Amino acid sequence: MIETNFLGIPDVSLSLFIFLSIATVFTTLLGLLTGTAGGLALLAIMAVFFPPVVLVPIHTFVQLGVGCSRTILMWRFVLKNTLFPFSVGAVLGAILGAQFFISLPSVILQGVIGGMIIILTWLPKFTIVGSTGWRFLGVGFGATFIGMFVSATGSLVSVFLAGASEKRQNHASTLGALMSFCHLAKLVAFGILGTTVGDYLPLIISMILCAFLGNYIGRFFLNLMPEYWFRIVFKLFMTVLALRLLYVAGLEYLPKLL
């Protein structure tokens, strides 16, 4: 007989527990080597098994673990001057986002993000306008606010980091640090909203430990990857993700306009 509530986790069997843990290793590795996509890939996998009310908080917890472990492993490469302004913006974005948690159409926001990513990826000068402090204050606010409704904001932050990072290690490590602030602010907001995922804690812990493993392995391959190829892979993945967001938004709203 298959155990459907493994370790007391609602509707999670032993096989699903193992599958999601392994998936976390590979999506974390993917995110480290491409500069994006890992969190979105894991979200897509988890969405098959969980309803949105628990999916977003659980995914946020796991991605917090991804970001923290990556930051710890690669701390010397983190762009320290981005941390404080981004964290201030993240707190403000979470506070405001919590007020509109259910009311804004996420599909429209996905379309807007997709369009912005296309522009910022292929016209990178827009990502270095203004001082670093003010720029990342705004990025922190926007990413966390929008992140209350959709989970594509890591890609948006990643585009701005591409312009600020001299090396691929700067990009990967700082993205982990900044998204940790973003996810932490979101979790506090979810707590205020009354969201609870305590029953899923064993799964969350396992996935976070697997995220550390993915980052540990990925760091080795990232150091071997030529900078040129990292930039090419990054642009390709960002473009594909952006087109997907635009496609989803168009699929939802174009029929209504015709």
Q: What is the mean pLDDT of residues 110-135?
A: 69
For the ranges 138-147, 221-230, 240-249, the maximum mean pLDDT occurs at 221-230
Pick the more confident residue, 53 or 15: 15
Structure tokens at 52: 């949105």
Residue 239's pLDDT is what?
82
27 found inside a domain: yes
192 found inside a domain: yes
Residue 71's pLDDT is what?
94
Residue 99's pLDDT is what?
66
Residue 16's pLDDT is what?
93
Residue 192 scores a pLDDT above 70: no
Give residue-wise pLDDT tens across range 34-92.
Answer: 877 788 788 878 888 888 778 878 888 999 999 999 999 999 999 999 999 999 988 88
117 found inside a domain: yes
Predicted TM-score of the model (pTM):
0.79
Residue 106's pLDDT is what?
60
Residues of the chain with pLDDT > 90: what percent? 29
Return the SS3 of 14: helix
pLDDT-derived band at 1, boundaries 50, 70, 90:
very low
Q: What is the mean pLDDT of residues 200-206?
A: 93
In terms of C-beta density within 10 A (0-12 exposed, 13-18 middle, 19 or more buried), how is residue 181 classed? buried
146 found inside a domain: yes
223 found inside a domain: yes
Give residue-wise pLDDT tens across range 95-108.
Answer: 777 666 555 556 66
1 found inside a domain: no
Pick the more confident residue, 114 or 207: 207
Query: Total structural domains in the chain?
Result: 1
- Whole-number Å distance between alpha carbons of 210 and 196: 22
169 found inside a domain: yes
Domain that holds residue 101: 6-257
Mean pLDDT taken over the chain: 81
Cβ neighbours around 171 below 10 Å, total: 25
184 found inside a domain: yes
Give residue-wise pLDDT tens across range 157-185.
Answer: 888 888 788 898 999 999 999 989 888 88
- Whole-number Å distance between alpha carbons of 124 and 127: 5
Helices (H), the chain: 14-34, 38-46, 52-73, 83-99, 106-122, 132-147, 153-164, 168-192, 201-224, 227-257
- Whole-number Å distance between alpha carbons of 112 and 106: 10
Q: Is 233 left (phi over 0), alpha (psi -120 to 50) or beta?
A: alpha
pLDDT-derived band at 29, boundaries 50, 70, 90:
very high
Residue 145 scores a pLDDT above 90: no
Residue 143 identity (one-letter amino acid)? A
Pick the more confident residue, 183 or 203: 203
Residue 152 scores a pLDDT above 80: no
Residue 141's pLDDT is what?
86
Contacts 24+ apart (CB under 8 A), 97-100: 97/144, 97/145, 97/146, 97/147, 97/148, 97/149, 97/186, 97/189, 98/148, 98/189, 98/192, 98/193, 100/148, 100/149
